Structure 1
Amino acid sequence: MEIKTVSQCTLKETLKTWNKGFEGYFVQIDMNEEVFLNRLVGEGLSPELSIVAFDHNDPVGIVLNGFRQIDGKKTSWNGGTGISPEYRGKGVSRALMEETIAIYDRENVEVATLEAIKENKVAIALYEKYGYTITNQLLFLSGDFDPKIEKSAAIHGEIIRPEQLPHLSFYQEDVPWQCSWQSNKQGEAKVFYNENNEAIGYMLYRTVWDQDGAIDRIVLYQLELLENGNVEDIPHFIASITNHKVEMATVNFLASNPATSYLMENGLEVKTEQVQMKKKMD
């Protein structure tokens, strides 16, 4: 078996390996060239440090890797490990993991991260074998949310760029990779304040518009309540975008986040469950 970097492969080879690698997976992840390239750029994935396994001239497995500074530590993210169906259980995933860990060592990574579908016990066991531990339960939610306001409140929001979030003293930088401001530079961000001008929460989100120029849905990447905020403030947050019932979805929200429980109690349902896993590198 030969392992090459994505930068040494053609786009056709890489895309074929990715799509074959997720055939029959818990969640179908089939991409065309445009979507794949946008993902590489948008999520900071490195073609030079992502790898493809070949059996002779046939690409049979892939790992995409990204690298960032998070909370002052060099952090890696396994943005997807896929193995062609006919090669699963034949040692390809182990070979890719060993090469991936070696890359992390060479790149002086301090914390390695990834997410796995909760039901994918085989993958979770593999990652645990290589030193990863489960740190968080993550939820994808979706459903209709009605931002009806029970009582008025002196809450005002400030629109900021996603790039400004890490400069806020209360911003929590350690979030799942795809929820970070770096992965959502084309998104929108707001900080909310009470009548005393104390910060009570913030959101990172994307508004999707339909052909008629109306809001089709809202995708939430972060919704955090601060010490001076509470879950009753959430309708005010959403009403700053629209005061009509709206389809809403969350990406990798922590199950432990009070906002997650509130949204589940008010119209959203669990669509996918993942675990976040981390490995402290030596």
Structure 2
Amino acid sequence: MELKTVSQCTLEEVLIAWNKGFEGYFVRIDMDEEMFLNRLVGEGLSPKLSIVAFDGNTPVGIVLNGVRHLNGRKTSWNGGTGVSPDYRGKGVSRALMDETLAIYARENVEIATLEAINENSKAIVLYEKYGYEITNHLLFLSGEFEAHVKEPLQLQVKTIRPEQLSSFAFYNEDVPWQCSWHSNKQGEASVFYNQKNEAIGYMLYRRVWNNEGQLESIRCYQLELLEKGNVEDIPHFLTSLTNKKVHITTVNFLASNPVTNYLLENGLEVTTEQVQMKKEMD
């Protein structure tokens, strides 16, 4: 078996490795060329730090990796480890993990992160053998939401660029990789203030519009209440985007986030459960 970086492979080889690697996976994540390249760029994944395993000329496994500075620490993310069905249980995953951690060491990564589907116990056990620990339980939610606001709230909304979130002292950078503003530069962000001009919450999201120019759905990456905010403020946050019924999807929301519980009580359902795992590098 030979390991190459994604930058040393053809796009066709990488796509074969990815699509075969996740064949029969818990969530369908097949990608074509455009989808793959958009993900690579949008999520800050590095062709030089990502690897493909070959058996002869056949791509049989893949790991996509990215590195960023978050909270002042050099942080890596494993954006997907896949092995072709015929090669599972034959040591390919271990070879990919060995090389991935060697890459992190060469890049002076301080903390390594990844997410794994709850039901994927074999992968979780493998990551634990390499020193990863479960730090959070994450939920994807989806459903129709219609805010029922009894009376208007004197709410001030400041709409900003996603990258501007990092300039606020209250902003928490310690979120799953795909929920970071770095991964959502094409999205939108809002900060909410009360009458005393105190920040009470913020939101990072993308709105999807149909061909008629009507709002079709909202994809939420962060929806956070601050110390001065409370659960009753959440519908007001959402009605600042639309006062009509809308389909909402959340990405990797913390199960412990009070916003998550509110959304579950108001029409959304869990579609996918994941664990966030982290490893302190030596």
Which band: TM-score by shorter chain?
Answer: over 0.9
Normalised by the length of structure 2, the TM-score is 0.99
Please name the residue that 1:222 is paired with.
Answer: 222
The within-5 A match list for 1:144-159 is 144-159=144-159
The amino acid across from 1:29 in the alignment is I
The within-5 A match list for 1:149-228 is 149-228=149-228
* DSSP 3-state at the match of 1:7: helix
Unaligned runs of 5+ in 1: none
The amino acid across from 1:39 in the alignment is R
Does the alignment pair 1:254 with 2:254?
yes
Distance 2:53 2:271 in 1: 32
Q: Deviations over 1:51-74 (max 9, x none)?
A: 000111111000000000000000
Deviation at 1:231, TM superposition (A): 1.0
The amino acid across from 2:68 in the alignment is R
The within-5 A match list for 1:1-282 is 1-282=1-282
Q: Deviations over 1:14-47 (max 9, x none)?
A: 0111000000000011000000000000000000
Q: Deviations over 1:126-174 (max 9, x none)?
A: 0000000000000000001111212221111100000100000100011
Q: Deviations over 1:241-270 (max 9, x none)?
A: 100111100000000100000000000000
The amino acid across from 1:87 in the alignment is Y
Distance 1:209 1:148 in 2: 23
* DSSP 3-state at the match of 1:68: strand
Identical residues among aligned pairs (%): 73
Unaligned runs of 5+ in 2: none
Distance 1:35 1:55 in 2: 26
* DSSP 3-state at the match of 1:251: strand
Q: Deviations over 1:92-141 (max 9, x none)?
A: 00000000000000000000000000000000000000000000000000
The amino acid across from 1:115 in the alignment is E
* DSSP 3-state at the match of 1:77: strand
Are the equivalent residues in 2 in contact too, given 1:112–1:278 (CA < 8 A)? yes
* DSSP 3-state at the match of 1:252: strand
Spell out structure 1 runs of 4+ moving beyond 3 A: none
* DSSP 3-state at the match of 1:260: helix
Moved more, 141-150 or 76-85: 141-150
Normalised by the length of structure 1, the TM-score is 0.99
Task: Provide the alpha-carbon RMSD of the alignment.
Answer: 0.5
Distance 2:133 2:254 in 1: 16
Distance 2:259 2:72 in 1: 27
* DSSP 3-state at the match of 2:15: helix
The amino acid across from 1:135 in the alignment is T
* DSSP 3-state at the match of 1:34: helix
The amino acid across from 1:68 in the alignment is R
The amino acid across from 2:157 in the alignment is G
Are the equivalent residues in 2 in contact too, given 1:148–1:243 (CA < 8 A)? no
